Amino acid sequence: MQLSTRISNLTGGGSDGWDVFNRARAMIAAGVDVTELTIGEHDIRTDPTILAAMDAAARGGHTGYASIPGVRPLRERVAARLTERTGVPTRPENVMITPGGQSALFAAHHAVCDEGDTALYIDPYYATYPGTIRGVGAVPKAIRTRSREAFQPQRDALEAAAPGAASLLINSPNNPTGVVYDRATLEGVAAVCAGHDLWLISDEVYDTQVWEGTHLSPRALPGMAERTLVVGSMSKSHAMTGSRVGWIVGPETAVDHLITLATHTTYGVAGFIQDAAVFALDQGTALEEKVAAPFRRRRALAQTVLASQNTVVPIPSQGAMYLMLDIRATGLSGEDFANRLLDAHHIAVMPGESFGAAAAGHLRVAMTIEDMRFADALRTLCAFAAEQV
């Protein structure tokens, strides 16, 4: 018996690039003390007040099938949030609640790509992007950015890739680079989408983690609301990664069809989790800033550590919970460096190659452990890099 080609080739027939992470987890299971700077998982848990709201909703009986588009109060809160933050009038009918941001990415590509369509995305990229595209039967096509340009997508590269494509996926603030796309970049993105009749899928799950500059949703640019699907999530903004609650915001007609898709796939999100998300959003920006504060502090610590050496070159970290470090001066690939660092010092980082060819010779470091331990690990990484030169 054969499995489908689609599911057998989600990773393109090769590794998904997470070998170092898997090695680190195996070492931990064997009792080795490993400093993990790999995945974007908060070192704080979901706020107890959110958990209390979730518990109250569950015990109050909201455990049956919930409304598939999302409960009305949550769709209203998300619509109000987007209206306030972007200036684009947004109604509940523009919103569908999803089981996390990953589900939203999958659904969004289903909405705009037919079998065999080309779907564009930016390299470096979050590791699941090409597999998500393959999963809907589309053909992923990466647009490479350059370290020396802070991994901002350039309009000429977008123009070269766009003919014949159906969609473009972007992510700002960006995982893995920590870069926030500036207005000029996003205006270039918008012009290419309009000029080539592309749908834009904008992954904005890190919109509450901006350290420099301003997050601009491309949906707010002229003519873009009608061709943009925005992906959002409670995972990063409210440390609710395991709760699996996110959303898609877009034109009402698209959302209507996405609701039909959800009826045949996920069948919605648990009601008591949605009630907890309503409670969390009702707390306003104070709770979001509390969740983001550790990463802001650790970024400042990292800047101090990195300024004291000249082997590791940081990409300007403007947002999200990651640092992207250029270690090409060592002569090692990101994968080789990460494996050697894990063996020598039991520090686990993600090789840049896990996120695409454009990040080869780089590392992604998650700022997800206690401040002083994080600073010590970064010092060790830099000293180790200097030893390789």
Checking if the pLDDT of 11 tops 90, the result is no
Same domain (yes/no): 258, 306: no
Domain assignment present for residue 59? The answer is: no
Domain-ending residue, one of 253, 283, 313: 283
Query: Tens digit of pLDDT for each residue in 25-43?
Result: 999 999 999 999 999 999 9
Max Cα–Cα distance, the chain, nearest Å: 62
Tell me whether residue 18 is exposed, middle or buried, using C-beta atoms within 10 angstroms of its C-beta: 0 to 12, 13 to 18, 19 or more. middle
User: What average pLDDT is seen over the chain?
Assistant: 96
For residue 97, the enclosing domain spans 64-283
Same domain (yes/no): 268, 136: yes
Domain-ending residue, one of 240, 268, 283: 283
Domain assignment present for residue 159? The answer is: yes
Same domain (yes/no): 164, 93: yes
pLDDT band at 14 (very low <50, low <70, confident <90, very high): low
Query: Tens digit of pLDDT for each residue in 152-202?
Result: 999 999 999 999 999 999 999 999 999 999 999 999 999 999 999 999 999
Same domain (yes/no): 119, 264: yes
Q: Are residues 351 and 335 in contact, defined by beta-carbon separation less than 8 angstroms? A: yes
Domain assignment present for residue 156? The answer is: yes
pTM: 0.96
One-letter amino acid identity for 2? Q
Checking if the pLDDT of 145 tops 70, the result is yes
Checking if the pLDDT of 15 tops 70, the result is no
At 312 the pLDDT is 98
Domain assignment present for residue 58? The answer is: no
Q: Is the four-CA dihedral 118, 124, 125, 128 of positive or negative sign?
A: positive
The strand pair at 199-203 and 165-171 is best described as parallel
Checking if the pLDDT of 271 tops 70, the result is yes
One-letter amino acid identity for 386? A
pLDDT band at 296 (very low <50, low <70, confident <90, very high): very high
Task: In whole angstroms, give the CA distance from residue 360 to residue 357.
Answer: 5
What integer is the mean pLDDT of 308-321?
A: 96
What integer is the mean pLDDT of 345-367?
A: 97
Domain assignment present for residue 50? The answer is: no
Query: Tens digit of pLDDT for each residue in 68-79?
Result: 999 999 999 999
At 12 the pLDDT is 81
96 membership: H or E segment, kind and range: strand 95-98
Domain-ending residue, one of 283, 308, 338: 283
Phi, psi of 96, deg, nearest 5: -125, 130
Same domain (yes/no): 193, 325: no
Query: Tens digit of pLDDT for each residue in 85-136?
Result: 999 999 999 999 999 999 999 999 999 999 999 999 999 999 999 999 999 9
At 201 the pLDDT is 99
Same domain (yes/no): 242, 297: no
pLDDT band at 335 (very low <50, low <70, confident <90, very high): very high
What integer is the mean pLDDT of 304-333?
A: 97
pLDDT band at 248 (very low <50, low <70, confident <90, very high): very high
Same domain (yes/no): 96, 40: no
- Say which CATH number the domain at 150 has: 3.40.640.10
273 membership: H or E segment, kind and range: helix 271-282
Phi, psi of 105, deg, nearest 5: -60, -45
Same domain (yes/no): 192, 266: yes
Same domain (yes/no): 212, 166: yes
Checking if the pLDDT of 16 tops 80, the result is no
Task: In whole angstroms, give the CA distance from residue 213 to residue 201.
Answer: 22
At 17 the pLDDT is 66
Same domain (yes/no): 294, 272: no
Tell me whether residue 74 is exposed, middle or buried, using C-beta atoms within 10 angstroms of its C-beta: 0 to 12, 13 to 18, 19 or more. buried
Task: Give the chain's domain count.
Answer: 2
Same domain (yes/no): 148, 261: yes
Domain assignment present for residue 13? The answer is: yes
At 18 the pLDDT is 81
At 238 the pLDDT is 98
Domain assignment present for residue 56? The answer is: no
What integer is the mean pLDDT of 276-292?
A: 97
- Say which CATH number the domain at 378 has: 3.90.1150.10
**DSSP-assigned letter for residue 153:** P
Domain assignment present for residue 52? The answer is: no
Checking if the pLDDT of 13 tops 80, the result is no
Cα-based angle 160, 166, 170 (whole degrees, multiple of 5): 70
| Nearest residue to 352 via CA among 125, 42, 44, 78 | 125
Task: In whole angstroms, give the CA distance from residue 232 to residue 204.
Answer: 6
Same domain (yes/no): 266, 163: yes
